[in-house]
A and B are shown apart, each in its own frame.
Chain A
Amino acid sequence: MTSHIDWRNTLPKIVACIIVVPALLVPLFTNNPASLSIVILSGIWAVVAMGFTLILWTGQFSLGQSAFMAIGGYTSAILTAHLDWPFWPSFLAAGLVSGIVACAVGAVVLRVGGFYFSIITLALGEIVRIIAMQWQSVTRGTRGLVTYPPETISLGFINIDFTASTVPWYYFMIVLVAFSGLIYWRIGKSRIGGTFFSVAANPMLAEHQGIHLMKYRVIAFTVAGVFTGLAGSFYGHFLSAMTPYTLGIQESIQVMIMSIVGGISSLVAGPIVGSVVLYNLSQFLQRLNLEGIHPVVFGGAIVCILLFLPKGTGLVDLWTKFWKRVYGEVDFYELPEDMEKDIEVH
């Protein structure tokens, strides 16, 4: 019976599940809001890092993803605080508005070369922050906007009360990460992922093969904008307040580093690994309360990781390399199965 199982593909997946399943059951082990918060925020950063990686897959480095978090966060904060909207529509609106802004900005800014684009996104992050500080009438400036948790959801026999404990937030995060992960994963595996690759790897060649470069760059930037906006909205409501201080250049850079350390060749697992590892490390170091230890160890650790990983890879690549060593090739692009057999027969 066991000979029918394709061990090459299934064993890694089984091992992955063994890691993932306990993650879903974490709240059973600890109810401590502080610990849960750390995991929750890791998840949020993972979603943002996925966006960074997607944009990277079209050959651009965006150093301003925190701007979209802020846009999303402020959108839902303004809708709930000023216009008395309920949470869920505001949450979705946050993603929508963020996406629209990303599309509009991207259409203009992605035309310039890669390096200049990065600097512009950096500047954009700052500009959004400054607008948040100065537009007192809407954002209440430095005092920030108070954000309320989602309304209690009653499912007949249980009430999911977001004010009572952190656990509902945890599962909300899981759903968000899983949903985003699924969409990003699907984009990466599909034809669109291949098109992104060609735009990044060799834009001149891609263009001569009929690919409209700007279109795909803007698509990636917009999708990243939508999910980053959702993440930002979650972030704002989870932290009970939306202020101009929480999201700036630091955070954009953090996201970039999470993506790189996790592995830029991976759209979902890489950001998750990178964000979990780095965010937890960061929190751990901050709690040690030693002067300067956080930046020193954090910065030093990242440099070490970058030095000792094989050139151009991240932590997730260690996983794929391990299985490669055990089994042989791992594929990149979907081929219909009968075509593979067709090739092998010859």
Chain B
Amino acid sequence: MALLELKNISKNFGMLRALDQISLNVEQGDVLGIVGPNGSGKTTLINVISGYYQATQGTIRLDGKDICGLRPDRIAARGIARTFQSNVIYDSATVIESMLVSAYLQYKTSNWQAFFGTRAYRDEHERIVGRVLDILRLLDLFNDTFIPGEKLSYGYQRMLGIAIALSADPKILMLDEPTTGMNHQEAMFVVENIKKIREQGVTIIIIEHNMRVVANLATNVVVLNFGTKIAEGEPHMVMNNREVIEAYLGTETFSSN
């Protein structure tokens, strides 16, 4: 049984069929790359998995349990975290504040215990601060601990977005175009960090346009076009697939040969 199973997921927005019968499986420890031209439904798929959108049809199973139709906070509690294409962070809060506030799921003590500041809460808080600082160290954000999110450079803001998602201690981390707007060096830096995250045992789903990133990271790749899955398999096979190339570059690529 795969960690995450999608069967025949479809999503309609009125007349627009954004996702059409998508099925895929993600095994524990995989890095699944989701690629496809703009508008092919990649972010929509992530939104459906994370609970932000409700699937019109189909089922999603995490660890064998159905998670379709749950609210995003319940799905996060089950172990799926994500980042956002537009990089959503808490602008006015410092890095450490954003992290602590986002580590909500790691706290097992109740709000009452937090309110009274009981020993159990304080011990747990210390431990979680430690773990959060570890995440920051892992992603090279440790030096910026007290800096407000809006003052970070673009690249580090994106790392913060990933760090925030990680602070929920997820089983599956979904990254939505984490290297957008970066040059090759910056993108490879992100790749290294994602590899480190993977080493920690997190299963990763990554939407990407940058093929070098995908080639470097993904164990398998799914290609979407106009909401349907047109190819699936190991990265180098998929990238040489004719249909995939046509989807990205248009049919004339071959006729001009």
Listed in ascending order, the chain A residues whose CB lies under 8 Å from chain B are: 186-187, 190-192, 194-195, 197-198, 201-202, 204-213, 219, 329, 332-333, 335-336, 338-339, 342-343, 346
B101 engages A197 (CB within 8 Å): yes
Stretch in B74-82, B191-199, B221-229 touching the partner: B74-82
B126 engages A336 (CB within 8 Å): yes
Known: A205-B88, A339-B133, A346-B142. A333 touches B100 (CB 8 A): yes
A336 engages B129 (CB within 8 Å): yes
B164 engages A205 (CB within 8 Å): yes
Contacts of B94 in A (CB 8 A): 332
* Residue B10, interface by CB 8 Å: no
Measured CB to CB, the closest approach of chain A to B125, in angstroms, equals 6
B: interface residue count bin? 35 or more
Stretch in B53-61, B111-119, B235-243 touching the partner: B111-119
A204, B73: Cα distance in complex, Å: 10
Closest to A336 in B: B126
A339 engages B100 (CB within 8 Å): no
Measured CB to CB, the closest approach of chain B to A85, in angstroms, equals 29
Measured CB to CB, the closest approach of chain A to B159, in angstroms, equals 15
A207 engages B104 (CB within 8 Å): no
A206, B52: Cα distance in complex, Å: 12
A197 engages B114 (CB within 8 Å): no
Which residues of chain B in 123-140 are interfacial with respect to chain A, using CB atoms and an 8 Å cutoff? 125-126, 129-130, 133
A213 engages B115 (CB within 8 Å): no
A186, B84: Cα distance in complex, Å: 33
Contacts of A210 in B (CB 8 A): 73, 76-77, 104-105, 168
A209 engages B76 (CB within 8 Å): yes
Could you pull out 17 A-B pairs where Cβ atoms are within 8 angstroms? A201-B93, A204-B52, A205-B89, A205-B90, A205-B164, A208-B52, A208-B72, A208-B82, A209-B76, A209-B104, A210-B73, A210-B77, A333-B96, A339-B126, A342-B133, A343-B146, A346-B142
A210, B71: Cα distance in complex, Å: 9
Known: A208-B73, A333-B100, A336-B125. A343 touches B90 (CB 8 A): no
Which residues of chain B in 154-168 are interfacial with respect to chain A, using CB atoms and an 8 Å cutoff? 164-165, 167-168
A109, B93: Cα distance in complex, Å: 29
